[in-house]
Structure 1
Amino acid sequence: MSGFKDHFSSASDRYAAYRPDYPAALFAWLASLCPRPGTSAECGIAWDCATGSGQAALGLAPYFRQVVATDASAEQIRHAQPHPAIDYRVAPAEASGLAKHSIDLITVAQAAHWFDLPRFYAEATHVLKPGGVLALWGYGRMVLPGKMDTPFRHFYAETVGPYWPPERALVDDGYRSLDFPFTEIEAPGFLIEVEWNLPRLAAYLSTWSAVKRFQDARGHDPLPALMAELTPLWGDVNTAKTLQWPLFLRVGRHQA
């Protein structure tokens, strides 16, 4: 997984607009792992690595004095939502430019499978304070309600399945096979939950790297055919339905 594989800059505006937000309870739990002695509930500095358009950084901001949010893609950073507590920077995961032992918490949301992990872990060990925390997380395919899940599962695995980068297998595995050389912390269960109508779901699916790669390879968009299958099963396409993704996490502490 060496080198920066940019699957998202060309869709960075859609990524910023349509990717789901992570649950607030996740950030509260992560912050609870790293309060600084002798301070209030506010923690020190978090590094949100591979921030994309800043979804996780924004979730961290209420709990930390500063959040440094980096991404190797300048285009992603350009579309990130500003916040007074967030310092957005263009930098690869493996060479953050952060000072040694300066970081209380490192978060990597839906991105660790793209990294050169040995180099990233070396960087994480360099910048984390003794006892600091690294949290990797992600989410796989949502499960659609009722009979809609059958065509959706086929779309994910068969229609665009051949166009997922090989690293996607690590997401489908829930990061269980990743080497993780930190003292592991058991994480509670967390869910992303949204209320979306069918056009909003289609907008999210347009951000999938496999959809973009399908379009480039085949010369047409695979989404209209899927929407044609889902529409009669959805009912009124403007009616919102509750959709969920379970999160998977690998969380550990740096023991210097």
Structure 2
Amino acid sequence: MSEKTFKAYKHEQGTAYAQVRPVYDKDFYQFIVDSHTSTGGKLDIVLDVGSGPGVAARGLAPHFAHVIGIDASEGMISAARSIGGLTSISEPIRYEISGAEELGSNLDPPIPDAGVDLITAATAAHWFDMSRFWPRAAQVLKPGGSVALWSLSSVQILPATPNHEAIQAALENFRSQELRPYLERGNILARDLYVDLPLPWTLEHPVSDFDQSTFVRKEWKDEGPNSDPDPIGLGTQTVNLEQFEKRFETSSPVTRWREAHPDAVGTERDVVKLLSREVARLLHEAGVEKGKEQITGRVRSVLLMVKKKA
């Protein structure tokens, strides 16, 4: 599949994306680093793929001597460079324009073969052509290096939100009615927590460099008594209506909807405004005062990790 929406982002869009997208908890990065090092992984070079404005690259930077973030979008990389970030040895993070299928082969100098300790992709792998990503990942990883891919699902409204069932129904209607024509396969892969994401051994031409016995799939779905703590740190969040709108504005289906309806953008006919008004109405119906509207929700998350054979 070829992702076009985020790839076309300008600098301003990349900056806006960075401002409203949630930051992963430091404990989650520690979880990945511990998993990587416990099986012999080193902390020299990490390559963050589909890095966007550099959220994960900056989160991983304190653990690695050298950090490279790559993205196919010039606007995203421009935003990442303007924000910056330093590694564990106070070296600036290197941000470059390169797709997940090239993994830096187009750069000068290119990403060296067998030179990377850890490859990561934060809520991005569902846009990759995995049949090209996995062979290239095997090429640039050191023997015993790791790949860590993670993603988030759609938000679920929790009972702490007044009238939560009706608001959840409004969200589902928003997705199924207004946004269905603008959903792409990548959106479905992320929603389903990567259950169908192609892995090295499921490809038409399997990539034998990866050790299937090291594969780990970790899901965090709920906060019940038998649930593991969610190290991603995005489990339960409370936002106001303005924050709620800004989160949805950066989703790719909304971007595509707005591209198809340019005259509605910024008006009361905008798809995000329509949803926000309905959520506000349902909150007011439950007795919430105007100006005090808040929504409490939870996202489910998944982490996939696998190692290259030593």
Do residues 252 (structure 1) and 306 (structure 2) align? yes
* Correspondence 1:65-104 to 2 at 5 A: 65-80=65-80, 81-85=83-87, 86-95=93-102, 96=104, 97-104=110-117
Question: In 1, Cα distance between the equivalents of 2:121 and 2:71?
Answer: 11
Do residues 33 (structure 1) and 40 (structure 2) align? no
Match of 2:4 in 1: 5
Report if the CA contact (8 A) 2:5-2:252 is conserved.
no
Q: Could you say if the C-alpha distance between residues 68 and 238 of structure 1 is closer, same or farther in structure 2, counting changes exceeding 3 Å?
A: farther
Offset of 1:60 from its aligned partner? Answer: 0.7
Question: In 2, Cα distance between the equivalents of 1:28 and 1:238?
Answer: 36
Match of 2:225 in 1: none
Q: Which residue identity does 1:107 align to in structure 2?
A: T
Q: Which residue identity does 1:196 align to in structure 2?
A: V
- 1:214 alignment partner, SS class: helix
Match of 1:112 in 2: 125
Offset of 1:164 from its aligned partner? Answer: 1.4
- 1:22 alignment partner, SS class: coil
- 1:84 alignment partner, SS class: coil
- 2:33 alignment partner, SS class: helix
Match of 2:146 in 1: 133
Q: Which residue identity does 1:243 align to in structure 2?
A: G
Count of matched residue positions in the alignment of Structure 1 and Structure 2: 253
Q: Which residue identity does 2:277 align to in structure 1?
A: A
Report if the CA contact (8 A) 2:51-2:121 is conserved.
yes
- 2:147 alignment partner, SS class: strand
Question: In 1, Cα distance between the equivalents of 2:258 and 2:217?
Answer: 40
Q: Which residue identity does 1:248 align to in structure 2?
A: V
Match of 2:185 in 1: 166
Q: Which residue identity does 2:176 align to in structure 1?
A: A
Instruction: Name which of structure 1's ranges 243-252 and 182-191 shifts more when overlaid on structure 2.
Output: 182-191
- 2:65 alignment partner, SS class: strand
Indicate the RMSD between aligned Cα atoms, in angstroms: 2.3
Offset of 1:138 from its aligned partner? Answer: 0.8
Q: Could you say if the C-alpha distance between residues 150 and 36 of structure 1 is closer, same or farther in structure 2, counting changes exceeding 3 Å?
A: closer
- 1:180 alignment partner, SS class: coil
- 1:100 alignment partner, SS class: coil
Match of 2:26 in 1: 24
Instruction: Name which of structure 1's ranges 186-195 and 75-84 shifts more when overlaid on structure 2.
Output: 186-195
Q: Which residue identity does 2:193 align to in structure 1?
A: G
Which among 178, 199, 204 is matched to residue 180 of structure 1?
199
- 1:5 alignment partner, SS class: coil
Provide TM-score, normalisation by structure 2.
0.75
Offset of 1:13 from its aligned partner? Answer: 2.6
Question: In 2, Cα distance between the equivalents of 1:112 and 1:199?
Answer: 29
Question: How much identity, in percent, do the aligned residues show?
Answer: 30
Question: In 2, Cα distance between the equivalents of 1:133 and 1:35?
Answer: 9
Question: In 1, Cα distance between the equivalents of 2:17 and 2:275?
Answer: 20
Q: Which runs of 5+ in 2 are unaligned?
A: 88-92, 105-109, 159-163, 201-209, 221-229, 265-269
Question: In 1, Cα distance between the equivalents of 2:301 and 2:57?
Answer: 17
Offset of 1:69 from its aligned partner? Answer: 0.7
Which among 247, 256, 271 is matched to residue 204 of structure 1?
247
Offset of 1:126 from its aligned partner? Answer: 0.8
Q: Could you say if the C-alpha distance between residues 131 and 82 of structure 1 is closer, same or farther in structure 2, counting changes exceeding 3 Å?
A: same
Question: In 2, Cα distance between the equivalents of 1:36 and 1:68?
Answer: 22
Instruction: Name which of structure 1's ranges 124-133 and 88-97 shifts more when overlaid on structure 2.
Output: 88-97
Do residues 227 (structure 1) and 276 (structure 2) align? yes
- 1:88 alignment partner, SS class: strand
Do residues 154 (structure 1) and 173 (structure 2) align? yes
Offset of 1:210 from its aligned partner? Answer: 1.0
- 1:58 alignment partner, SS class: helix
Match of 2:16 in 1: 14
Q: Which residue identity does 1:137 align to in structure 2?
A: W
Offset of 1:168 from its aligned partner? Answer: 1.6
Q: Which runs of 5+ in 1 are unaligned?
A: none
Q: Which residue identity does 1:136 align to in structure 2?
A: L
